[in-house]
Amino acid sequence: MTSDSIDIINALALLTNFLIIPALSYGSQLALGALAVTLVYSVLRFANFAQGDSMAFGTMLVILLTWFMISQGWTISGIPTALLAIPIAIIGTAIYLLSMDRLVYKYYRKTKAKAITIVMASIGVMFITNGLVRFIFGPRPKVFADGERFIFSVREFKAFTGLEQGIALKTSQFLTITIAILLVAFVFYFLQKTKTGKAMRAYSDNKELALLSGINPDKVVTVTWLLVASLTTIAGALYGLDKGYTPQQYHLLLLPIFASVIVGGIGSPIGAIVGAFLVSFSEVFLTYAYKKFLIYLLPVSMHPNSLLQFIGTEYKYAITFVILVIVLLIKPTGIFKGKVLVDE
């Protein structure tokens, strides 16, 4: 193999390690959060601004349970204990979300309030949830990852391939991508094939006709929140395992999650997933420094001196905001022709 070919392979390994794998992992986390927002909007008819802080709440429960399990020795070698804590945390998150529904959203549904009114109520729930998490947990970062950190490390990859550049796959990244695929497949199967899922779709398409058909609205609402609690807790836990946990970090996730939903098409589950990966790849690709990548591909005389970074990582949310504005200006319904964010 020629040196030029090896340089190209090294360049591709560099991109895979620092761009493709992180973008896939981050996109999977955003996709689960965006899917939760889409379910709430499609079935309950409001934009849930409390999604990011609900993820923080669910992850807080996962962390507390993880710490307790580790202290009791309830662990499995090589597997993050957080995975064992997630099912119990989902129950806690579901109880919290259903309580908020009964205390706040149910009243507005009964009075047939305008969508903008329920949106404002969800903003109130957002601040309540954020304050509750900060009161219990505080604002400082929390660490809860244990077990094996890597499926394979850069050193192991280099030793196996003989390349100068290596690829590492963190356990959190592997779990994020794998669990996201399985969970999304389950949600689509549930909505398309099960009786309850078909009832949810009917309720979403035409509420009045669904009620006349004998569909129980309370059951639809409850199942929706149970699905949302599952997606929210799992997305939050996977994000925390991958990137660490602070309440403010999850609060800021609201922007890329909503951007994913709007870019893909509001109310479209497929659109939410596609939008999530568009946002994640845009953020990662535009904040990466391409200097080393181009050094492998260009002759010595053309090697760049600067980092060749489109925008600093501290401005990654600005990228999301710009994408959101462009889509709203050019195609407000999104890629898959969703609905307007607030109607009536």
Question: pLDDT, tens digit, for every residue of 307-342?
Answer: 889 998 888 889 999 998 998 888 888 888 766 554
Whichever domain contains 27, its CATH number is 1.10.3470
The Cα–Cα gap between 266 and 119 comes to 15
Q: Compute the distance between CA of residue 245 and CA of residue 152 in angstroms, rounded to an integer.
A: 24
Q: What is the pLDDT of residue 340?
A: 52
Predicted confidence at residue 220, as pLDDT, reads 95
Tell whether 328 is covered by a domain. Answer: no
Structural domain boundaries enclosing 54: 3-262
What was the pLDDT predicted at 343?
46
191-244 pLDDT, tens digit per residue, is 999 999 999 999 988 888 888 889 999 999 999 999 999 999 999 999 999 999
Residue 57 domain-assigned (yes or no) = yes
Separation between Cα atoms, residue 84 and residue 107, nearest integer Å: 36
Confidence of residue 143 (pLDDT cuts 50, 70, 90): confident
Residue 150 has pLDDT above 70, yes or no: yes
Nearest 10 degrees: CA dihedral of 64, 70, 74, 80? 80
pLDDT of residue 199: 93
- Domain assignment of residue 294, yes or no: no
* Number of domains, the chain: 1
Q: Give the residue-averaged pLDDT of 277-304.
A: 93
Tell me the whole-structure pTM to 2 decimals: 0.94
Q: Residue 47: inside a domain, yes or no? A: yes
* Model pLDDT for residues 87-105, shown as the tens digit of each residue: 999 999 999 999 999 999 9
Q: How far is CA 32 from CA 18, 47, 224, 300, in A?
A: 22, 16, 14, 44
Q: Is 233 inside any structural domain?
A: yes
Quick check: is 229 in a domain?
Answer: yes
Classify residue 249 by burial, with Cβ atoms within 10 Å: 0-12, 13-18, 19+.
middle
Q: Indicate if the pLDDT at residue 292 is higher than 50.
A: yes
Residue with tokens 């259903």: 98
pLDDT score for 84? 95
Q: For residue 267, tell me if it sits in a domain.
A: no
What whole-number percentage of the chain has pLDDT above 70? 98
Mean pLDDT of 259-267: 93
Instruction: Tell me whether residue 201 is in a domain.
Output: yes
